[in-house]
Homo-oligomer: A and B are copies of this chain.
Amino acid sequence: MATLKEVAKLAKVDSSVVSRVVNNDPALNIKPETRKRILDAVEELKYRPNMSARNLKKGQSKMLGMIIPDFSNPVYSLIIHGAEDQAAQEGFNLLVYSLKQKGLEKSYSPLLDGQIEGLLIANSEIDNKEILELKKTKKPFMLVNRTVAGVDNYVVANDLLGAKLATKHLIKQGHHRIAHISGPLFTATGLSRFQGYREGLQEDNIDYIPVYVQESKYTVENGYESMEILLDLPDPPTAVFASNIMICLGAMKAIQDRGLTIPKDMSIIGVHDVFFTSTLQPPLTTVKMPLYEMGREAVKKLIAIIQGKEGETGQGVTIDGASLIVRSSTSPPPSK
């Protein structure tokens, strides 16, 4: 690897000049002919700046961390994708940690170490307390797809709108007995989607039946169990709105395992449109959330914070763009 000094020698100038040329220092006065000599030398030696040296000198690392619960969750794949794109565009590297076996403590230690300059937290399993603790350190971080009371640096989607879209779609199909398998009701996503469901019902004057709401973790297994409870009800629903694609997957299976047909016997709609939703049997009607955009926006804001462009944290951002994708898992209820 060629160094600045070697380039300087070849171009017969001081290495400081090379540095300024390479970095396009606007305050530099230089003859065009000298600049050309330098650029030629850079080219010839295939000079590339040593990042460790630069980072050391500038006290930066150009690395961002991101915590997700699990690599194989397709919801997070999309967020990561957006985050990575934006990071690359701004010259940052993204280090993704799956929380599966590490614990936040260990995951954010690189932040405290200064190994990374900021952290994206896209994980609802992390305790609020830990996050408030993190806030005290004044290190830049950003919540993605979740919130914590007292923390303003978050990026979320318009979950309320998305849920309302789903609920109203079912109502429009003629359903009155609409169940909701919610996410954990201590999370922002779970709560907002629940609220959207409630508002959707309300606006169309559909009775809210508490027993039709089952709280569930965002897993296939929990979705399955919750759906079983709903199916065991004396007066079961004719449609169900699942708060998340994992839950939805489990719920579908529970319905089908009972020998019921979707959508003939039961309509189902879920939040998050991922790569296999159209391939399911039947193809799933979903609400598509702007996950990719969320990832991008979160990184954008995080970098702004790091660079001090946003005060200490900036304001919470809600990304619009929830949209209904109608496929074949919803239909009018069976006529009595």
Binding site for B on A (CB under 8 A): 1, 48, 50-53, 55-56, 61, 63, 71-72, 74, 77-78, 80-81, 84-85, 88, 93-98, 100-102, 112-115, 220, 249-250, 252-253, 256, 274-276, 279-281
Contact = CB atoms under 8 A, between A and B. Distances in A.
Nearest to A107: B88
10 contacts: A48-B113, A71-B77, A71-B78, A77-B77, A81-B100, A84-B98, A94-B95, A220-B275, A252-B281, A256-B281
A331 B302 CA distance: 53
A250 to B, nearest CB: 7
B95 A81 contact: no
A45 B72 CA distance: 39
Number of copies: 2
Nearest to A97: B84
A253 B275 contact: no
Contact of A81 (B71, B220, B252, B281): B71
A214 B71 CA distance: 31
A77 B72 contact: yes
A80 B94 CA distance: 14
Given A93-B95, A95-B93, A51 B281 contact: no
A114 B252 contact: no
A323 to B, nearest CB: 18
A275 B51 contact: no
